[in-house]
């Protein structure tokens, strides 16, 4: 069929108009996309507020601590804000009990034991609980204790006999429990850590009862490993902080004070013991430690502003020094936040 010139003309005009409308529509869509505000994190000039969120607080400078090792991290993102000798494996005394706490809490979470299960006291746990000079609550072999009672004694009073009784209740023997501690350390990537008992006492203090390593061995961890363990513990079981910040416990008609004298509720005790106010607002954990070999140690957890921080002090010369230097770190961070 032969098309007329007039028909061809109008067909061509129609196609041109259709193409024009399509071009305008596409161009308008492109303009709409291009004119939208860019995301602050991919813009060449991101919002200052958003930029500071990821770079704040900044690492601390001009601070010199006397402790053998120390570390401070922003628990929100893992940023290191202060570090000293963080990779050396050192004796850490009762800060070891954070790993014991973790293993027990996992056993409860998995249903292998419960808070209300009752525990009998072995000769080993009884002997250590009555050893003069050890952090303890006095256990009675004629009485059964619940997992809850023993856990509170371990976490708040740092009771060694209670810790051993817990380990035996969860895994049968301390030796088997320590095997789980070392397995967990490997799982968490703690490359500079090794455990020989559940308490953090040197094996020499356990006498005939030590079961792992040699008589001269003790639990060792690096400051970095301690911080990693603490962060994992409070992330997996945040309720541990409700326990750790409890100022005191009553156990068999005796009152025992929390060993963490930085807790705000214990300002009176720190003044009584040291003549110093060692308390710090926002402190809610986590674990102290002391042996002659390890010196005075402390893993602290604190909320300053809307952020959480974790600190580790290993090898202070005096009991109060571990708290004073922890407070020094926190005050420097607080100053940054307030300014």
Catalytic: which of 94, 96, 218, 316?
A: 94
Residues pairing with 314 in the sheet: 69
Q: For 311, phi and psi rounded to 5 degrees?
A: -125, 155
* Strand blocks (E) in the chain: 69-74, 80-84, 90-91, 118-119, 145-146, 220-221, 248-251, 254-257, 283-291, 295-304, 307-316
Contact present, 302 and 330 (Cβ < 8 Å): yes
* Cα separations in angstroms, 180 against 168, 173, 315: 12, 11, 26
DSSP character at residue 296: E
DSSP character at residue 172: S
Between CA 280 and CA 290 the distance in angstroms is 21
Known catalytic residue at 94: yes
Contact present, 223 and 294 (Cβ < 8 Å): no
Between CA 71 and CA 124 the distance in angstroms is 35
Name which of 105, 188, 197 is nearest 152 in CA terms: 105
Contact present, 81 and 75 (Cβ < 8 Å): no
Beta-carbon contacts of residue 48 (< 8 Å; ≥ 6 apart): none
Catalytic: which of 96, 97, 316, 334?
A: 97
Catalytic: which of 96, 122, 129, 158?
A: 158
CA atoms within 13 A on the CB side of 158: 24
Q: Active-site residue numbers?
A: 94, 97, 158
């Amino acid at each position: 069929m032969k098309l007329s010139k007039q028909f061809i003309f109008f067909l061509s005009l129609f196609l041109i108009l259709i193409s024009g409308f399509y071009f305008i529509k596409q161009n308008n869509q492109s303009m709409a996309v291009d004119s939208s505000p860019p995301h602050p994190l991919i813009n060449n000039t991101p919002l200052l507020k958003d930029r500071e969120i990821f770079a704040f607080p900044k690492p601390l400078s001009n601070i010199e601590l006397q402790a053998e090792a120390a570390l401070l991290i922003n628990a929100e993102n893992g940023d290191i804000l202060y570090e000293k000798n963080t990779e050396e494996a050192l004796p850490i005394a009762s800060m070891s009990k954070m790993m014991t706490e973790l293993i027990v809490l996992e056993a409860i979470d998995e249903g292998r034991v419960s808070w209300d299960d009752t525990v009998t006291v072995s000769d080993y746990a009884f002997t250590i609980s009555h050893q003069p000079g050890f952090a303890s609550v006095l256990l009675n072999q004629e009485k059964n204790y619940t997992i809850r009672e023993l856990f509170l004694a371990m976490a708040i009073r740092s009771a060694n006999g209670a810790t051993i009784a817990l380990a035996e209740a969860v895994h049968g023997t301390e030796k088997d429990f320590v095997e789980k501690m070392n397995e967990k350390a490997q799982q968490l990537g703690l490359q500079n850590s090794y455990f020989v008992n559940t308490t953090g006492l040197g094996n020499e203090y356990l006498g005939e009862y030590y079961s792992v390593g040699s008589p001269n061995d003790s639990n060792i961890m690096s400051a970095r490993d301690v911080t990693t363990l603490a962060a994992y513990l409070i992330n997996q079981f945040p309720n541990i902080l409700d326990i750790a910040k409890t100022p005191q416990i009553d156990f068999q008609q005796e009152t025992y004070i929390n060993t963490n004298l930085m807790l705000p509720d214990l300002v009176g005790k720190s003044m009584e013991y040291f003549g110093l106010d060692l308390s710090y607002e926002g402190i809610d954990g986590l674990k102290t430690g002391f042996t002659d070999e390890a010196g005075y140690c402390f893993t602290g957890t604190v909320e300053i502003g809307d952020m959480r921080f974790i600190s580790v002090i290993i090898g202070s010369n005096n009991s109060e020094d571990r708290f004073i230097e922890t407070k020094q770190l926190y005050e420097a961070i607080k100053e940054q936040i307030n300014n």
